Amino acid sequence: MLMCGRLRRLFRQLTLQTSLLLLFIFCMVSVLISAYFLYGVKRELEPAGVGGVGVPEEGTADWEDPRATPSPPSARVLPARTAKPADMSRTDPVVLVFVESLYSQLGQDIVAILESGRFRYQTEIAPGKGDMPTLTDKNRGRFTLVIYENILKYVNLDAWNRELLDKYCVEYGVGIIGFFKANENSLQSAQLKGFPLFLHSNLGLRDCSVNPKSPLLLITKAREVEHGPLPGDDWTVFQSNHTTYEPVLLARGRSTEASGAPGLLHAAVVQDLGLHDGIQRVLFGNNLNFWLHKLVLVDAVSFLTGKRLSLALERYILVDIDDIFVGKEGTRMKVSDVKALLETQNELRTHVPNFTFNLGFSGKFFHAGTDEEDLGDDLLLSYSKEFWWFPHMWSHMQPHLFHNQSVLAEQMLLNRNLFRSQPFIYLIGWALNDLLHFISNQISIFMTHLSNYGNDRLGLYTFKNLVKFIQMWTNLKLQTLPPVQLAQRYFQIFPEERDPICLIFNCFVKNYIIDICCLVCSGTTALYLFLGMHPDLTSNYPSKETFEEIQFFNGRNYHKGIDWYMEYFPLPSNTSSDFYFEKSANYFDSEVAARRAAALLPKAKIITILINPADRAYSWYQHQRAHDDPVAQKYTFHDVITAGRDMPIKLRVLQSRSLVPGLYATHLQRWLTHYHPSQILVLDGQMLRTEPALVMDKIQKFLGLTNTLNYHKILAFDPKKGFWCQLLDGGKTKCLGKSKGRRYPDMDVDSRIFLREYYHEHNIELSKLLYKMGQPLPSWLREELLHSR
C-alpha cells in the first residue's frame, strides 16, 4: 500500500514531457526484447553446429544395428509419446506439399509422384516463416499428409506456426515427410534442434540396402544391396539413439574405399515412429534423384496415410511394338530377330503370366525389306497366333487425315485381309519416359518401335531387365492383358476417368479463348456486352438451349464433343491476335469445368468477376423470385439463408444455390490448380458497376491487346437504367434488358449480419489467395474484412 501511494505521488509529479520520454523508453525496450526473442527462437530452430561431434569413425558399426554408433545426448528429450493412429475419417485425402518455388526440381518430382498415383495434393510455396494455409475446415482436417521439399522450412517455422502445424498433426494423426538436401553451406555435423536427431552432411555413400525391419515398406523389397556409389557427394545421413528413429535406407560411407575397410552404415532415410512428440515423420537425406528414394517415398505416403493414399500391388504392363513391316531396309526383323522376340516373350511369361507383345502393323509394307528381312516377315506371320496385333492404317497414314469414314474403313479392311482371323483393336495408350513411373502407375503401356527389335534388339534387353529389376526390388505383381481388356480394367480402377478430360489435342493453339467463368448475378452479361464492342474480340454465337451461354465445360454438353463447341465460334482467321470469348456463368463454381477447360484450352485466359458474396446470394434470390420460383416466393431471403437441416429439401436446395457459389476461395483455388495465376484475372464486380471503363482498361492490358479501345468514350451512364450502357451514334444508349439491374428492396440487416459471419473465413482465404496471385483486393472485400470482428 505504502509503495503504491509513493508511486502514485511520483506519477502526479511527472511533467508531460517526462511521461512521454518514459513511454518512449518503455516502447524501445519492448521492441528490443521482442526482437531478441524472435531472433533467438529462429536461431534455435536452425540446425546448429554440434561442438565435438563430427562424422563418426568409419568401420565401427554394423548395419543390423544402425543406431549403434555413439550419439550425443539429445538437446530436448521430451517424454516418450506414441503417435496417434491416422484417423482417416477426420481428414480429407489431400497432401499438403510445401515447395521451395513453383519451379523447384524436387518439388516437381514430388508432385509428379503424387500425380501418377492420382493422389490429390495442394502445393504451397513454403514461407520463410508464418502463413500456414488453413488446416481445418469445421473440425475436419483439410490434409492427410504434409510434405516439405526442404525440411528446414518446417524446422525453422516461427514458434506460433510450428505449434499450429504440430498440434494439427498430433490431433489428426497426420504425418510429415521431409527432404534434407545439403549444399556447400550446410554444416558437416548438426543437430536438428528440438529433435534428438543428428545430421551429417555432404557425404559420399555406396552400397545401399533397405532395412527389412522398417515398418513402412510396402512396394519396396528389402533383400538386395545396391552395390556401387550412390549418385552425388552431398548426402546427409541421420544418427540418433532415440527409439523413435528407425532407419529405412542404409548405405556405407564412401571415404574408406582406399583403406579397403567397409565403411560405417549410415541411415540415409529415417523414419520417426512418433515416439518423441507424437508425430510420425519420414526424412530423406537427399532429393529424389536416387531411384530407391522414389520407391520409399511412395511407401512413406502409403504408410503415413494408413494406406489411404496407396496403390494395389498389381501392375499391368503392355508392350506395343509399332510399325511392324513399316521400317526401312536394314532396320527390320530377320529370322533370328523374330525367334529372339518369341524366346524373350516366353522368358517374360515366367514372371508375367501370359505376357504377349502387342504388334502394330501396316500391311502395305509386308515384304518391303531385304530378302533376309522378307523371310523374317514370313516367320512373324507364321507365328501370328503367338502375338497380339493391332492395325495402323494400311499405308501408315494418320487416321485424321482421311476425309470420310468409308475411305478410312476401306483402308482398314486391307489390313484385315493380311490376317483374316485377327480381331480389330485400336490403340489406347500413352508413352512413358521414365521406367520408375511403374511404381505409381498401375497400368503402363510402352510404345516401342520395330527397329529396337530388328536392328539392335534394345527392346528385348530393356524389358527383360525391367522385369528383373521389378522382381528384385519390389513386391509388385506384374500382369498383362490385351488392350481392350486392359482398357476395361483401367476404367475399373479409375472409374472417374470414364468422363474424359481431353477430347482432342492441341486445339486452339493459335486462337486463344477467354472464358468469363464467373457467377450468375455478378455482372457477367454487362462484361460480355462490353467485350463484344472490341474489334479484336469475337464472342460465341448464342445458344438457344442454355440462355445464350454455351455451358460446355460444366455439364452434359461436354460429352457432345469439341466440334459441337467449336460450332459456336466463327472459323479461325489468320490473325493470331484474335481472341474468342465466351461466358458461361456456371463455370466458376463447377467441380469439373476448370479441369476440363485446362485439358482442352491450356492457354486460355480466364476472367472472373466477384461481387460481395452476400450481395450475389441476394441478387440470385431476387432473380429466382422474378422468375416466379415458388420456393423463393414462399420464403423470405432470411428464411432461405438460415434454413436448418430439418427444413424442406426444396428450400435447402435454394439455400445451397444461393450460398455455395459465394465460397469464392474454394472455387478460385480449383481454377488455380489447373491454370497459372498469370492466366486468371479477378475483377471487382463493384468496380464494373461503377467504373466499367477502368475495368475494361484492365482487361485489355491483361489480354495484351495492341489495339486499345477507349471505353471512356463508348460507354455512358444511363440515369434511367441506373447503370452504364453502350453509347450509340447519336447519343442514345443500349443497355442490358430488364432482367439485369432490377430494382428491389435492400437486404435486411439481419441477413447482412448473418452472411458477413457466414462468409468471414472464406473471405479471409480469398484475400490470401489474391495476395499470392499478386492481384488487388476488390473494394467490397476490403470493406468486409474491416467490418468483421
Annotated binding-site residues for 3'-phosphoadenylyl sulfate read 619, 724, 740-744
Nearer to ligand A3P, 300 or 529 (CB): 529
CB of 169 to ligand A3P, least distance (A): 42
CB of 723 to ligand A3P, least distance (A): 3
Neighbours of 187 (CB within 10 A): 16
Could you tell me which of 467, 380, 363, 346 has the C-alpha nearest to residue 416?
Answer: 363
CB of 619 to ligand A3P, least distance (A): 3
Nearer to ligand A3P, 263 or 523 (CB): 523
179 φψ region: left (φ > 0), alpha (ψ -120 to 50), beta (else): beta
CB of 742 to ligand A3P, least distance (A): 5
Give dist(CA 405, CA 417) in Å, integer: 19
Nearer to ligand A3P, 322 or 684 (CB): 684
User: Contact 176/147 with Cβ under 8 angstroms?
Assistant: yes
Nearer to ligand A3P, 271 or 525 (CB): 525
Nearer to ligand A3P, 220 or 525 (CB): 525
CB of 519 to ligand A3P, least distance (A): 7
User: Contact 125/107 with Cβ under 8 angstroms?
Assistant: no
User: Contact 237/266 with Cβ under 8 angstroms?
Assistant: yes
Give dist(CA 581, CA 540) in Å, integer: 6
Element at 726 (helix H, strand E):
strand 723-727
Nearer to ligand A3P, 454 or 523 (CB): 523
Query: Which residues here bind ligand A3P, judged by CB under 6 A?
Result: 520-526, 585, 619, 622, 688-689, 723-724, 736, 740-742
CB of 661 to ligand A3P, least distance (A): 11
Could you tell me which of 130, 45, 46, 132 has the C-alpha nearest to residue 96?
Answer: 132
Nearer to ligand A3P, 210 or 688 (CB): 688
Task: Tell the residue number behind the cell numbers 491450356, with chain if given.
Answer: 602
Residue 617, phi then psi, degrees to nearest 5: -60, -40
User: Contact 516/582 with Cβ under 8 angstroms?
Assistant: yes
Nearer to ligand A3P, 160 or 744 (CB): 744
DSSP string, 503-560: SSSSTTSSSEEEEE---TTSSHHHHHHHHHTSTTEEEPPPBTTTTB----SSSGGGGG
Secondary structure class of 316 (helix, strand, coil): strand
CB of 521 to ligand A3P, least distance (A): 4
User: Contact 416/422 with Cβ under 8 angstroms?
Assistant: yes
CB of 680 to ligand A3P, least distance (A): 18
Which segments of 647-743 does DSSP mark as H helices, in order?
A: 649-659, 664-674, 685-690, 692-703, 711-714
CB of 718 to ligand A3P, least distance (A): 9
Residue 174, phi then psi, degrees to nearest 5: -100, 135
Q: What is the DSSP letter of 450?
A: T
Nearer to ligand A3P, 255 or 779 (CB): 779
- Sequence length of the chain is 789
Residue 37: CB partners within 8 Å, gap ≥ 6? none
Element at 757 (helix H, strand E):
helix 749-758
Please work out, in degrees rounded to the nearest 5, the angle formed at the alpha carbon of residue 277 by the alpha carbons of 276 and 281.
80
